[in-house]
Chain A
Amino acid sequence: MEPFRTHTGVVVPFDRPDVDTDLIVPARYLKRVDRTGYGELLFYSKRYLPDGAPDPEFVLNRPQYRGGSILVAGRNFGCGSSREHAVWALQEYGFQVIVAPSFADIFANNAAQIGLLTVVLPDARVREIMQAAGREGYQLTVDLEAQTVTDGFGHRDRFEIDAFKKHCLLNGLDAIGLTLQHEAEIARFEAGRPAWLPRVTL
């Protein structure tokens, strides 16, 4: 994955708690077998009218949020299905950071795997950012090394992030490659597994 260091971008407010992954990408679009093509499906049921035209009311379709790359949303963002497609859709659309008071566990994990940064800030701060994002062109700068979110108006928030997650994001590390370096430990563990554990043979 691409390393993530700092990012500055326009903030898009999505003022709902419990945004589920069915809302992010409906299941009926999960039938593809590749990782691309999900950006245009992001928030499909909200973004397009029944005739397929963009709904001018929906936040992503409003001119001031074109090119927005930081999404700010309510608590428990990404709940529901484990579909990584939700992260692919957000990322392909152009989001690099999601800010919320909390994230569903599987979503946060999926996001970290492929370099989409999830930033947890207190509820009250998220509300303020949500409001500020109503202004045309409101931007935030997210600095992962310093673990800060700042705007051009003197606001500065620090956020917490798991040290290992941060390390992988900063360096764009392939987590699978890292694990495979521990081959000897894996083999040693395997040798000690009880023989009665089930095996599936062809």
Chain B
Amino acid sequence: MTPKTLVDKIWDAHVVRSRPGEPDRLYVDLHLVHEVTSPQAFDGLRLHHRRVRRPDLTFATLDHNVPTTPRSEPVTDPVSRLQIDALERNAKEFGIRLEGMLSQRQGIVHIIGPELGLTQPGMLIVCGDSHTATHGALGALAFGIGTTEVEHVLASQILPQPRPKTMEVRVDGDLPLGTTPKDLILGVIRRYGVGGGIGHIIEYTGSTIRGLSMEGRLTVCNMTIEGGARAGLIAPDDTTIAYVKGRPYAPKGRAWDEAVAYWKTLPTDPGAAYDTRVTLDAGTLEPYVTWGTNPSMSEPVTGRVPDPGAQADPQARGAVERALQYMALRPGTPIQEIPIDRVFIGSCTNARLEDLRTAARVVTGRRVHPKVRAMVVPGSQQVKAAAEREGLDRIFRSAGFEWREAGCSMCLGMNPDVLGPGERCASTSNRNFEGRQGPGGRTHLVSPPMAAAAAIAGHFVDIREWGV
């Protein structure tokens, strides 16, 4: 038998129909739904008198525009309210389970999938959201889709998809002290660009990846789309199996043994071919800070804001110039001298328990700089509860951080948590596009400990010098 990659195995196991000249029709094991990209899809169903084929494989939550103020307070933004109401109504009408505003299981869709054990190795998962790749950390093939495709999956449980190319991103070696999985993925994107993965599904391999915890792997896979690939995954191993075990939706008893036996067949066979292969030496990674308006525009924290004049290609020069103008940064400025106004620790990239722990370790016994407004937004109600059991909320609060309810929050500025025009933010989220966190807001992407340290110092600092 020809050796197969992890991606090939999952793909082949989900083909319902394959004909030359047509995209493969793939069966979707789990369809995650949120309030922003679904209302028009449900309208489409109604318009065509179609039903949801498998409500039992469809799971909804509210995350993008829910306020992060106490849940006892009403949703004041009438437009957000409308979208929340729409999902509540649609879930009821079509018989879909919704973890709503008051649920103890509510949270960012990409955090709660793995957390509840809904995300399992070998599954094919879709969601109307580009960060669906996150679920790939457990060895699932997970795609972000658009609203018309959401409607397609609701109606048929099928995703039509031409077979993409495969790409191996191999990272070997130990992560240097002070660098995190966030720096790993920022390093990959810095090296291979925001379009490097277009047309590909990525499999992350190598000793560094194997050595990451599940939470670290989730951070890495989460930002796959920032490198241009629609899905990114990591082969299931003991770390994966230990993570899934005992979660609410994980198989139990005999079913568990069967599932595990299957998962163990999934890793890429020796000698299997990828269309593209790239490598990275983890030893070269550093804590990164983005200075521009896409996630590839980053420098090590010890570096300086680049000079557009040093770019040979006129298009690239134009892009750097525009980015620096938007970010109000002068070429040559040491990254550590950039003062910040806001800090956001949150998002589906970095709002799991481990992220909050590493940030809290930096904050313990210190105070947020008087000029900085800093907030922590746990990724889910369960992360929040777990963090509170450990007393992390007290550490953050007594240092002067706001401790808020779960949701996407300032990752995309759809709820009241936004940057004001010109405000500069150290953010653990995944996108530093113009206006992403609010019109005129300026975003610098960093790891949780780097964000925490910046909150204390009022500017970026090299976390390696803090010895935490």
A179 touches B160 (CB 8 A): yes
Answer yes or no: A137 CB below 8 A from chain B CBs. Answer: no
- The residue on A at minimum CB distance from B84 is A31
**Residues in A140-176 with C-beta less than 8 Å from chain B:** 162-164, 167, 175-176
In the bound complex, residues from chain B placing their C-beta under 8 Å from that of A85 are 147
The CA of A106 and the CA of B421, in the complex, are separated in Å by 30
CB-contacts of A18-56 with B (<8 A): 18, 20, 22-23, 26-28, 30-35, 45, 50
Query: Which of B21, B39, B148, B434 counts the most A-chain CB atoms under 10 A from its CB?
Result: B148
Count of CB-CB pairs between chains A and B under 8 Å: 209
Q: How far is the CA of A196 from the CA of B318 in the complex (A)?
A: 53
The distance in angstroms between the C-alpha atoms of A196 and B436, with both chains bound, is: 40
> Within 8 Å CB of A179, what residues of B?
25, 152, 155-156, 158, 160
Q: A18-B195, A27-B436, A176-B151 are in contact. Are A197 and B29 (CB under 8 A)?
A: yes
- Complex CA gap A111/B294 in Å reads 22
Contacts A33-B39, A82-B128: A164 and B148 contacting too (C-beta < 8 A)? no
Rounded to whole angstroms, the CA-CA distance of A197 and B421 in the bound complex is: 47
The verdict on A114 contacting chain B, using a C-beta distance below 8 Å, is yes
- The reply on A17 being an interface residue by CB < 8 A is yes
* Selected contact of A74 from candidates B25, B59, B315, CB within 8 Å: B315
Checking A45, A79, A103, A193 against B439 with a beta-carbon cut-off of 8 angstroms, the contacting residue is A45
Q: Is the CB of A200 within 8 A of B56?
A: yes
Binding stretch for chain B, among A5-13, A60-68, A184-192? A184-192
List 9 other contacts, CB 8 Å, given A83-B36, A194-B259: A22-B434, A23-B435, A34-B40, A74-B315, A79-B195, A104-B198, A105-B230, A109-B145, A200-B59
In the A-B complex, the 8 residue pairs with the closest CB atoms: A110-B146, A196-B255, A84-B146, A33-B39, A113-B148, A31-B79, A76-B195, A196-B251
Name 16 A/B residue pairs within 8 A (Cβ), A-sorted.
A18-B294, A20-B433, A34-B43, A35-B40, A76-B194, A82-B37, A84-B146, A87-B146, A106-B130, A106-B144, A109-B145, A182-B158, A186-B53, A193-B27, A193-B29, A198-B30
Report which A residues bind B (CB closer than 8 A). Answer: 15-18, 20, 22-23, 26-28, 30-35, 45, 50, 74-76, 79-85, 87, 102-106, 109-110, 113-114, 162-164, 167, 175-176, 179-180, 182, 185-186, 189-190, 193-202
